[in-house]
Structure 1
Amino acid sequence: MSNFKLISAPEPPSSKKTASPSESFTLVKYFTFSSLVLMFIGAIILSTLHSHLVRNLLIQKSEEYGKLLVENLNHQIFMQFLLPVYFQYGQIQLKDPEQFQRMDAVIRNTLHSFHPDMVNIYDLDNIISYSFNTEIVGEKNLGGTGYQKAMKGESTTSFVQIGNMWEILFRFPRVTRITTFAPLRMEDATASLSGPIIGVVEIVQNVSDDYRKIFRLQLLVILTSSLVMGILFLILRTIVKKGERIIEERNQEQLRLKEEVNQNRHLSALGEMTATISHEIRNPLGIIRSSAELLQKKLNRLDPGNTIAQVIVEESTRMNAIITDFLTYARPRSMAPVPCHPNDILQKNKLFLLQELENDNFDLQIYCAPKVPEITADPALLYQAFLNLILNAMQAMPQGGKIRISILNDPGRIHIIFEDSGPGVPETILTKIREPFFTTKEKGTGLGLGIVDKILVAHGGSMDISNRQEGGARVKITLPSASPDPTGEDRSHGNHTHR
């Protein structure tokens, strides 16, 4: 026996580790989500700053509005109240109901379109001489610092918000008022308010409605930003999920290909070893078988009841079949493709197995759809592949049963479907059934389906194994079809054949 060594294929040289696509995508995902969160926070901050700017603008405009209102009121009081009353009564006394009503009419007529919340007029002693609220007329020292500054000729405006802590915190108070204190002066001959101070006027404007509009605007901006960011988040999430799924599928495919390459490398080395061993065993096995056959002939004459030689012949024949399977799987012969028709090959399979089919109570039916074209293949290899599948179906039904083979046509390919009425393939081994040397039979190499698979792959085809819903196994073979027969001959003859 010649020497042989099993040498593993060399591992590829290690390269510098780089970031995998999934790691790079994870970084992009986190960066994108972080950017989205920052954009959302930035939108909230911008909306808050915008609302704050609008509030400041409202206060500024209210201050200017209050000053203009005071100047107009000062002029109307001087022209329509102070002068006429002084010339009529010789003195100004708002305690006089008639003078108070005249003052009230002048102020209300002047401010009726401006809707102030409150108007108070203080005299030089910080006593309220006039007010919309008649109950506080005569009260003293209610002007505070605003009154003191107005007596010095300085106009002031204060911003007052009324509400609980949360309302103030979220800038949504129940009441918002702007109070303006301004000096009340005598006019000179040029109608300029530069004369002596004769009192202080306080005007309170209620801007709660304007403030609510600002708050609603701010809320609308925040909600719009949240909605836009939410939509962007959903779109981004969908894209990320799809990207993750694609990357995961690619990783799985790469892992599958890597495992397949490693398995092929291993099987290649194992096949070389198996082929060498099988070749070395076959020669002495042939000598053993021929010697046993000669011994059997002599024993038949001398001792007809002795079966030792017959057992040696049978076991040698079985072992030779196993070695043939090993060699076929390890070193499949080269293809000799010619135009052929699957129906013709299957009919030969049936003819070869006809006696066994009848003896073991099998019903084999072959159906070929009309106008199934020829294929370019090696008839001998397909004969072997089809024979293995039919034998597998027969072995799955020891008591006999039905086997149906259908040949169907698809554009550019044909399907050959093997179905049996046996128990089917257990789900636990369905994914392992094609692995080399895997078998559930007491006798067998586990290479039958592996040989079929290699033959189909060599022809550019594929095999799918599943269970039928009504029971039994189903093997679907797909092969590329050749161009239609130029003679137009229908090769579906005998498309219904029975045992």
Structure 2
Amino acid sequence: MNSFKLISAPEPPSPHKKSSPGQSFTLVKYFTLSSLILMFSGAIILSTLHTHLVRNLLIEKSEEYGNLLIENLNHQIFMQFLLPVYFQFGQIQLKDPDQFQRMDNVVRNTLHSFHTDMVNIYDLDNVISYSFNPEIIGEKDIGGAGYEKAMQGESTTSFIQIGNQWEMLFRIPRITRITTFAPLRMEDSTSSLSGPIIGVVEIVQNVSDDYKKIFRLQIIVILTSSLVMGFLFIILRSIVKHGERILEERNEEQLRLKEEVNRNRHLSALGEMTAAISHEIRNPLGIIRSSAELLQTKMNRLEPGNTIADIIVEESTRMNAIITDFLTYARPRIMSPIPCHIFDIISKNKLFLSNELKSGSFDLHIYCAPKVPEIIADPDMLYQAFLNLILNAMQAMPEGGRINISILNGPGRVHIVFEDRGPGIKDHILEKIKEPFFTTKEKGTGLGLGIVEKIIAAHGGKMEISNRQEGGVRVKVSLPTTEPAETA
């Protein structure tokens, strides 16, 4: 007797196992996405700070511009209005229409083409002596703190924005003005404005357009940053998705290969055990069968009606067929590949089963697509595999019926599809249908499909089993048109 060894279970995984590639990739993904979010936030903050600096620069430049404008206006008023009017009239009285008109011409000509909304000139008593708005001329004590500081020789600038609550919330006011108060002085002989203060000038500049340009610049910067970051996010997201998909495929492939290795290891041990047992059983079974045949000959001569010997021979033959299946599954024969055509092999199957097909009311229809190429295969092994599939289809329809076999062309492969019109296979059975020794039949070893799958795999092909929507089972066998890599 051959000795048998128990195969030890695989070692459990170590508790100190390194992180899997999936975990590492997940960390990289989250780190990359976090970095992108930080970059996007930083870009928004930088764009906001940039526009804030530009806004402050606008205010600063507007203040300088207002002071220069007032200085120029002060000089023009002194040279073109105060001196000529004083020498002509002996005194300055803006209530006089002629003097007022002359002052108005000097101011408007000086400020021509400048964005100036309002000019007010106050006398030493805080009374408006001149204004672009005639309705406020003569008003008193409306200069406020700006007037007081100007009387002390100090120029001041204030920033005023006008808009509703939503406009102010989003920093887009309708009107933005810069108001400058500065002293109005007499010029000395050197033409410098260092003389005594004779009044106060208030200039209101309208910088709404410039402020809106800054706001549009801010929007453009934010949108540009958002678009760039969004584009980077889409690219990164696609890369991450592609990486995840590749990693999932590799993990699935690795899991499939691991399961296949474990399954093959299990089947290999099972096959060795089966082969050893079958070999040990076959020898005494052969003796029993030969003895039964001899006994059958004598019983036919001495006691013709006795069927005991016939039963022994019949059951011995059935047992020998079962053992043959065991040995075929455990130790498949070596392939002898030659050029052959699938249609010829299946035609031989049909010819061999012609009596069974006729007696069982089966209609076996073979369809072969045009230009199906020959394949390099062992025709005898494929004959055995196809025969098993046809017999399975016949057994699925005890009352007879139609069996369709289609030979189709594919890219680099030949597809053979077997279809019956039986009751089909239940889902929970379909998952186990290829497992060795699993069968739903009262008689059978459960190795038929296992042998078929081994033969197909030896040819570099694959077999798929599914239920048809119309009822029945579909078995699809795919074989390469080139020589298979395996030869056993």
**Do Structure 1 and Structure 2 share a fold, with TM-score over 0.5?**
yes
Q: CA deviation at 1:9?
A: 7.0
RMSD over equivalenced CA pairs, Å: 2.9
Q: Secondary structure at the match of 1:184?
A: strand
Given the two structures, how large is their TM-score scaled by the length of structure 1?
A: 0.87
Equivalent residue runs for 1:247-262 within 5 Å:
247-262=247-262
Uncovered stretches (5+) of structure 2, i.e. residues with no partner: 484-488
Which residue does 1:99 correspond to in 2?
99
Q: Distance in 2 between matches of 1:311 and 1:304?
A: 14
Q: CA deviation at 1:70?
A: 0.8
Q: Distance in 2 between matches of 1:117 and 1:54?
A: 23
Letter matched to residue 324 of structure 2: T
Judged with a 3 Å threshold, the aligned counterparts in structure 2 of structure 1 residues 135 and 8 are, in CA distance, closer, same or farther, namely: same
Which residue does 2:83 correspond to in 1?
83
Letter matched to residue 402 of structure 1: R
Matched residues, number: 483
Q: Does 1:171 find its partner at 2:171? A: yes
Judged with a 3 Å threshold, the aligned counterparts in structure 2 of structure 1 residues 127 and 5 are, in CA distance, closer, same or farther, namely: same
Q: Distance in 1 between matches of 2:179 and 2:10?
A: 90
Judged with a 3 Å threshold, the aligned counterparts in structure 2 of structure 1 residues 160 and 425 are, in CA distance, closer, same or farther, namely: same
Q: Secondary structure at the match of 2:249?
A: helix
Q: Distance in 2 between matches of 1:15 and 1:357?
A: 61
Q: Does 1:40 find its partner at 2:53? A: no
Letter matched to residue 336 of structure 2: A
Q: Distance in 2 between matches of 1:376 and 1:230?
A: 54
Which residue does 1:441 correspond to in 2?
441
- Please tell me whether the aligned partners of residues 115 and 207 of structure 2 are also in contact (alpha carbons under 8 angstroms): no
- Please tell me whether the aligned partners of residues 374 and 482 of structure 1 are also in contact (alpha carbons under 8 angstroms): no
Judged with a 3 Å threshold, the aligned counterparts in structure 2 of structure 1 residues 394 and 101 are, in CA distance, closer, same or farther, namely: same
- CA offsets per residue over residues 297-336 of structure 1, 9 Å max, x none? 4554565554444333333322222222111111112223
Given the two structures, how large is their TM-score scaled by the length of structure 2?
A: 0.88
Q: Distance in 1 between matches of 2:264 and 2:385?
A: 21
Letter matched to residue 433 of structure 1: I
Letter matched to residue 288 of structure 2: I
Q: Secondary structure at the match of 2:277?
A: helix
Which residue does 2:457 correspond to in 1?
457
Q: Does 1:335 find its partner at 2:335? A: yes
Q: Secondary structure at the match of 2:334?
A: coil
Judged with a 3 Å threshold, the aligned counterparts in structure 2 of structure 1 residues 145 and 482 are, in CA distance, closer, same or farther, namely: closer
Q: CA deviation at 1:368?
A: 5.2
Which residue does 1:27 correspond to in 2?
27
Q: Secondary structure at the match of 2:116?
A: coil
Which residue does 1:493 correspond to in 2?
none
Q: Does 1:56 find its partner at 2:59? A: no
Q: CA deviation at 1:121?
A: 1.4
- CA offsets per residue over residues 86-132 of structure 1, 9 Å max, x none? 22322222344443343233323322322422212122233322223
Bigger drift between 255-264 and 457-466 goes to 457-466
Q: CA deviation at 1:366?
A: 4.3
Q: Secondary structure at the match of 1:130?
A: strand
- Which aligned segments of 4 or more residues in structure 1 are displaced greater than 6 angstroms? none
Q: CA deviation at 1:371?
A: 6.3
Which residue does 2:150 correspond to in 1?
150
Letter matched to residue 155 of structure 1: S
Which residue does 1:190 correspond to in 2?
190
Bigger drift between 99-108 and 115-124 goes to 99-108
Which residue does 2:245 correspond to in 1?
245
Q: Secondary structure at the match of 2:353?
A: helix
Which residue does 1:225 correspond to in 2?
225
Bigger drift between 288-297 and 22-31 goes to 288-297
- Please tell me whether the aligned partners of residues 462 and 477 of structure 1 are also in contact (alpha carbons under 8 angstroms): yes
Q: CA deviation at 1:253?
A: 1.1
Q: CA deviation at 1:48?
A: 1.0
- Please tell me whether the aligned partners of residues 6 and 273 of structure 1 are also in contact (alpha carbons under 8 angstroms): no
Whose RCO is larger (CA < 8 A, sep 6+)? 1
Q: Distance in 2 between matches of 1:374 and 1:224?
A: 62
Letter matched to residue 460 of structure 2: G
Judged with a 3 Å threshold, the aligned counterparts in structure 2 of structure 1 residues 392 and 131 are, in CA distance, closer, same or farther, namely: same
Which residue does 2:200 correspond to in 1?
200
Percent of residue pairs bearing the same amino acid type: 81
Uncovered stretches (5+) of structure 1, i.e. residues with no partner: 484-499
Letter matched to residue 384 of structure 1: Q
Q: Distance in 2 between matches of 1:345 and 1:54?
A: 86
Q: Secondary structure at the match of 1:114?
A: coil
